[in-house]
Amino acid sequence: MNILEDINHLLPVAGINIATAAANICYSDRTDLALIELAPNSTTSAVFTQNAFCAAPVLVAKQHLKKTAPRYLLINAGNANAGTGQGGIDAAMACCESIASVMGCDANQVLPFSTGVIGENLPVDKIKKVIPDLKIDLNPHHWMAAANAIMTTDTVPKGVSCQVSIGNQVVTITGIAKGVGMIRPDMATMLAYITTDAKVEQALLDTCLEKSVGQSFNRITVDGDTSTNDACVLVATGQSKVAISELNLIEFQQALDKVFETLAKALVRDGEGATKLITINVTEAQNAKESDRVAYTIAHSPLVKTAFFANDPNWGRILAAVGRAGVKDLDINKLKIFLGDVCIVENGGRSASYTEALGQKVMNESEITIDIQLNRGQASSQIWTCDFSYDYVKINAEYRS
């Protein structure tokens, strides 16, 4: 398996063409529109936000997926087209119809996606105006351009490619993602588009997507907020002629999982104002629900997150978060907490081997692991989060400025 994280050299995927354009939706000095063309007979699977107040493009994309196989994915940045009622649905449909007219397909074969400010009407005329430009720009090598076009408060574009040998043939997987705020596991709190030239039947592709999302995008959290627009799309063009089945699924799934995990971690590393990537492992819980509850309580604690930003080994904040996670009959004398390889808590209090200097050495690192051993059972959870900095407040306070 060969993983390529250089955004400047993402590998083209046979059957995928990409285009970008500047529609001036919200930004006046950059591209903000991307179009992904899928080869005929491609198989597409997608999961969307579980926020009840989901955006208009999410509703339209779900409807279109039920009707036919998509040929185009249209993504705009700068406007979420969320909280816009029937007018928002009409706007999303108008964009699909315009793509269909220019590209020569049915409107149901276009899936719309939006990201940006909630509650603003989508400027459909601006988008329609540049759709002919998108058609001209279609190219299999425009992955980086698309990764840049879909960004909002991201500071860097995010993408990864992977090649894996399956039955002595090479399969390519390439994907991009955006999202650094309003990030909370509840499907996939961001936009992500992953494509492969493998041939995968619909039911199996759905299963692959669910598994990969479950251990990647559903394992990250920046601020605990679930967006209205989240979507994750997996496309298999079949152009390599390598058919994925139960016989060779393990190799393909492992490669797919690696791509998803790489993108998920990239989102957390670029969390709004983030300076640290924090891995939280909870083990020896009675069940997965319990281990998840402990992990997320720590990850969402503003006191814990600000301590990490300050490089402050204030381990009492981690201990307090574990204690308030709602674990029934938790025996604090049996649990252990580690900061990196340093034991900070055991026997109901500070570890006898712990020193401030040891804790400080770990806190000075840019990637940190917290391990909590509950000593209650066999279940475990792992999630990734980041710290809270001054910039997180600044970015979100000035988001509409």
The pLDDT tens digits of the residues spanning 60-102 come to 999 999 999 999 999 999 999 999 999 999 999 999 999 999 9
What DSSP designation does 225 have?
Answer: P
Lowest-pLDDT choice from 54-63, 116-125, 262-271:
262-271
pLDDT in tens, 319-348: 999 999 999 999 999 999 999 999 999 999
Residue with tokens 């759709």: 131
- What is the spatial distance between Cα 245 and Cα 266, in angstroms, rounded to a whole number? 30
Q: Can you tell me the mean pLDDT for 198-217?
A: 96
Question: Across residues 188-213, what is the average pLDDT?
Answer: 93
User: Would residue 172 show up in a list of annotated catalytic residues for this protein?
Assistant: no
Residues of the chain with pLDDT > 90, as a percent, come to 80
Q: For the chain, what is the largest distance between any 2 Cα atoms, rounded to a whole number of angstroms?
A: 71
pLDDT digits (tens, 9 = 90+) for 251-286: 999 999 999 999 999 998 887 778 999 999 999 999
Distance CA 2, CA 184 (A): 29
Q: Answer whether 91's CB lies under 8 Å from 53's CB.
A: no
Pairing of strands 43-48, 16-21: unpaired
Distance CA(175)–CA(258), nearest Å, equals 11
- Select which of 189, 221, 226, 262 is catalytic: 189
Of 191, 198, 170, residue with least CA distance to 43 = 198
Asked if the model's pLDDT at residue 187 lies above 60, the reply is no
Task: Report the phi/psi class of residue 278: left, alpha or beta, with left for phi > 0 and alpha for psi in -120 to 50.
Answer: beta
Q: Which residues 6+ apart lie within 8 Å of 217 measured at CB?
A: 185, 187, 188, 189, 190, 192, 232, 260, 263, 264, 267
Cα separation, 363 vs 50, in Å, equals 35
Please tell me the total number of residues recorded for the chain in this structure.
401
Give me the domains of the chain, ranges plus CATH numbers: 2-269 (3.60.70.12), 277-397 (3.10.20.340)
Q: Check residue 265 and give its pLDDT.
A: 92
Query: Rounded CA gap, 384 and 222, in Å?
Result: 8
